[in-house]
C-alpha cells in the first residue's frame, strides 16, 4: 500500500493534503462500525478540487490512507489543538459527531497505535518535511498551504453554519503578517463567506512547520464542503459549485506565490 503520493514541482509552494485519502489497511474495515466504513469525516474530493495547482506549478504531498487510520494533522504526543473543545484524537475512535467508529472490543491498543504512527504518520511527515527543505534550499523560503474541508454543519464542533473559507495561521504565528493580510484581502474580494483564525486556526501541520523566522510560511484553508460538493452520502462532487470556487482558490494560491516573489 502506497501511503503518500508526492508530486514535485519547482515553485516554493507546497500543498499538503492529509485527509483526502480513503485507503484502509487489511483487516481494519471489518473492525469498524457500519457508519465508520463510510468514512464520513473524509476531506472528500480535495485532491480533485485542487488538481489545477500543478499548473502553477505547486508541489503536492497527499496521504492515501484514511484519517481513521491515523490523523497526520494531530499532535503525535496527544496534546489537544483546541483545549476545552471537542475534537478527535491522533487515532480517532469517534466521528466528528461523536458516534463510535469501532465495534465493541475492536479499538486499537497502544501498540497498534505506535505501529500506525511508524507506518503512516511518520511517512507523511517525512515526505512533507523533505519537500519543505527541498523548496527552501532552492528558493530561500517555503510556502505551505494545508488543504482541508469539513461539513458545513457539525454541531459538536461549532455552532451554526461554517463560513465557506476558513483561514488558519495559528493566530498569526505560522506565517508573516503580510501574507495573512494579503490572503484576507483575496478572500474579501471573493463572493464567499470567510473568517481568519475562527473555529479552525490551523492544525498540527500548520503549527509544526510554520516558522516565519526561518522562512517557512504555513497556512491552513478549511473549506465548508457545501461550497463544492454534496455533503450527504455518497458525497458527490458538484462540478458547477467546484468550478465556481476554483478561481477563488487559484487566487489564494497565486497570492501565496506573489508573496514569495517579493521576499
CB atoms within 10 A of CB 36: 25
pLDDT at 1: 77
Confidence of residue 198 (pLDDT cuts 50, 70, 90): very high
Q: At what angle do helices 239-261 and 177-188 cross, to 10 degrees?
A: 150
Count how many domains the chain has. Answer: 1
Peptide bond into 127 cis (omega under 30): no
Quick one: what percent of the chain has pLDDT higher than 70?
100
Measured distance CA(236)–CA(168) in Å, rounded: 26
Phi–psi pair at 37, nearest 5 degrees: -65, -20
We report the CATH number of the domain holding residue 172 as 3.40.630.40
Q: pLDDT tens, 93-122?
A: 999 999 999 999 999 999 999 999 999 999
Name the DSSP letter for residue 141: -
Give the pLDDT confidence score for residue 99 in this predicted structure.
96
Nine-digit cell string for 104: 465493541
Nearest residue to 106 (alpha-carbon basis) of 42, 52, 29, 35: 29
Span 174-185, mean pLDDT?
98
- Smallest CA-to-CA distance from 52 within 261, 259, 252 is with 252
Q: Enter the pTM of the model.
A: 0.96
Rounded Cα distance, 18 and 148, in Å: 8
Amino acid at each position: 500500500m502506497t501511503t503518500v503520493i508526492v508530486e514535485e514541482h519547482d515553485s516554493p509552494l507546497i500543498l499538503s493534503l492529509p485527509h483526502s485519502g480513503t485507503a484502509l489497511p487489511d483487516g481494519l474495515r471489518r473492525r469498524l462500525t457500519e457508519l465508520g466504513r463510510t468514512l464520513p469525516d473524509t476531506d472528500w474530493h480535495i485532491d480533485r478540487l485542487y488538481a489545477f495547482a500543478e499548473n502553477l506549478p505547486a508541489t503536492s504531498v497527499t496521504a492515501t490512507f484514511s484519517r481513521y487510520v491515523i490523523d497526520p494533522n494531530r499532535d503525535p504526543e496527544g496534546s489537544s489543538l483546541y483545549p476545552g473543545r471537542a475534537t478527535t484524537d491522533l487515532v480517532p475512535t469517534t466521528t466528528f459527531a461523536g458516534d463510535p467508529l469501532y465495534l465493541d472490543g475492536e479499538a486499537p491498543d497502544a501498540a497498534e497505535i505506535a505501529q500506525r504512527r511508524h507506518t503512516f504518520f511518520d511517512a507523511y511527515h517525512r515526505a512533507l518535511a523533505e519537500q519543505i527543505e527541498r523548496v527552501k534550499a532552492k528558493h530561500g523560503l517555503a510556502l505551505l498551504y494545508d488543504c482541508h474541508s469539513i461539513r458545513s454543519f457539525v454541531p459538536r464542533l461549532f455552532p451554526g453554519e461554517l463560513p465557506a473559507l476558513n483561514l488558519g495561521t495559528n493566530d498569526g504565528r505560522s506565517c508573516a503578517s503580510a501574507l495573512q493580510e494579503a490572503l484576507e484581502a483575496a478572500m474579501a474580494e471573493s463572493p464567499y463567506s470567510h473568517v481568519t483564525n475562527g473555529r479552525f486556526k490551523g492544525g498540527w501541520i500548520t503549527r509544526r512547520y510554520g516558522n516565519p523566522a526561518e522562512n517557512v510560511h504555513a497556512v491552513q484553508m478549511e473549506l465548508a464542503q457545501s461550497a463544492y460538493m454534496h455533503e450527504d452520502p455518497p458525497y458527490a462532487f458538484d462540478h458547477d459549485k467546484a468550478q465556481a470556487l476554483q478561481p477563488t482558490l487559484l487566487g489564494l494560491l497565486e497570492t501565496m506565490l506573489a508573496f514569495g516573489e517579493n521576499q
